[in-house]
């Protein structure tokens, strides 16, 4: 039992096709997929359930779908000896604690085949990543129960546990300091590298938003750009710093002089390409590589230090709630140090 390959580009079309099947056919499809541990068929079930019954429905972002599929891959790899339809009593809790402990050797080994793309990180996963893996696992079982393949719900009462590290200490490891950004910009000989740095460290864009940004969404005169379908499929205007506006204008003129008709601002077309580019730049600048997202954290941290206004941080980084912006207040240790300096 297969799905038409013509529908592979459209989650809604695939969900509609599953919807048209009778209950018995859908159940057989799900039972077969689970019994054979067929990644693609299990993913189609999960994607269809997210599309039809998920909180965002057809608005579920591509980034979320990719993250959930990655979670499904990791679950199938680490649960190699587990029955998907009749998992053991504590299988869900054990899976989550293995992620927290960094016991992921099968995942790392499965990825050592020389394929392109970012490799899984070694060691314990960050709390937010564990939560995302848990959400993906729950989505799979929501889909299997929806299809009538099982009544199992191994992740229903599973908790990720409390993080023993202080958030402000961990955050400090994932933010490029102002000095590090100066070093990186100083070694960024190519205009695209400077634009990449500033889209993150000044505009606070996520890597997916950098890659999606088109020239018709950039207005250097008004010093603003438009993020379409950002996280949560939200569209928002982002203000540009004078430095970023100038770098974007210089980069645009260079592209026009080369008769480059590519509509996207960055020539890099994959997240892995951005990751490798920034990592190579960090190596040249002798700056510890902290990931691409640390550029966005740097924007939030600098804006809070400058203004002390979490509302401005929330607006600039387009956080859904003020609580999400509070991490930048906690990560500013300089104010605490200054307060303690006068103690006797």
E strand or H helix that includes residue 38? none
Same domain, yes or no: 328 and 190: yes
pLDDT the model gives residue 316: 87
Same domain, yes or no: 180 and 305: yes
pLDDT the model gives residue 164: 57
Assigned domain for 341 exists: no
Residues of the chain with pLDDT under 70: 1-9, 110-121, 162-173, 229-233, 323, 325, 329-342, 344
Count structural domains, the chain.
2
Assigned domain for 152 exists: no
pLDDT the model gives residue 165: 53
Same domain, yes or no: 74 and 197: no
pLDDT the model gives residue 168: 44
Assigned domain for 210 exists: yes
pTM of the model: 0.63
Assigned domain for 328 exists: yes
Assigned domain for 131 exists: yes
E strand or H helix that includes residue 275? helix 271-285
pLDDT the model gives residue 114: 45
Same domain, yes or no: 78 and 178: no
Q: Tens of pLDDT along 6-58?
A: 344 588 888 888 888 889 999 999 999 999 999 999 999 999 999 999 888 88
What is the span of the domain harbouring residue 307? 171-334
Q: Tens of pLDDT along 182-201?
A: 999 999 999 999 999 999 99
pLDDT the model gives residue 88: 93
How far is residue 198's CA from residue 205's CA, in Å, rounded to a whole number?
Answer: 9
How far is residue 225's CA from residue 78's CA, in Å, rounded to a whole number?
Answer: 42
Same domain, yes or no: 284 and 212: yes
**DSSP reduced 3-state for 52:** helix
pLDDT the model gives residue 4: 44
Assigned domain for 55 exists: yes
Same domain, yes or no: 58 and 132: yes
- Supply the DSSP symbol for 202: T
pLDDT the model gives residue 148: 94
């Amino acid at each position: 039992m297969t799905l038409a390959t013509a529908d592979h580009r459209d989650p809604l079309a695939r969900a509609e096709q599953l919807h048209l099947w009778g209950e018995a056919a859908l159940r057989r499809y799900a039972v077969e997929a689970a019994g054979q541990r067929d990644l693609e068929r299990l993913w189609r079930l999960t994607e269809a359930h997210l599309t039809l019954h998920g909180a965002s429905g057809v608005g579920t972002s591509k980034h979320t779908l990719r993250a959930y599929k990655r979670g499904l891959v990791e679950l199938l790899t680490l649960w190699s000896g587990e029955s998907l339809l009749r998992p053991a009593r504590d299988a869900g809790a054990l899976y989550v604690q293995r992620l927290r402990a960094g016991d992921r050797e099968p995942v790392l080994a499965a990825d050592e085949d020389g394929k392109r793309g970012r490799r899984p990180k070694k060691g314990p996963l960050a709390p937010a990543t564990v939560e995302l893996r848990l959400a993906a696992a729950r989505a799979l079982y929501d889909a299997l129960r929806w299809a009538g393949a099982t009544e199992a719900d191994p992740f229903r009462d599973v908790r990720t546990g409390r993080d023993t590290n202080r958030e402000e200490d961990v955050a400090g490891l994932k933010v490029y300091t102002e000095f590090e950004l100066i070093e990186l910009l100083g070694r960024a000989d190519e205009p695209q590298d400077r634009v990449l740095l500033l889209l993150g460290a000044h505009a606070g864009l996520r890597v997916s938003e950098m890659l999606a940004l088109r020239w018709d969404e950039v207005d250097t005169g008004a010093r603003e750009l438009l993020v379409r379908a950002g996280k949560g499929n939200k569209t928002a205007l982002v203000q540009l710093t004078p430095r970023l506006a100038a770098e974007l204008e210089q980069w645009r003129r260079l592209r026009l002089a080369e008769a480059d008709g590519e509509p996207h601002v960055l020539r890099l077309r994959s997240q892995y390409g951005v990751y490798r580019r920034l990592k190579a730049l960090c190596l040249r600048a002798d700056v510890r590589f902290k990931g691409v997202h640390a550029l966005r954290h740097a924007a939030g941290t600098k804006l809070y230090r400058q203004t002390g206004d979490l509302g401005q941080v929330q607006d600039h980084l387009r956080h859904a709630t003020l609580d999400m912006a509070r991490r930048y207040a906690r990560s500013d240790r300089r104010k605490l140090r200054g307060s303690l300096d006068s103690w006797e």
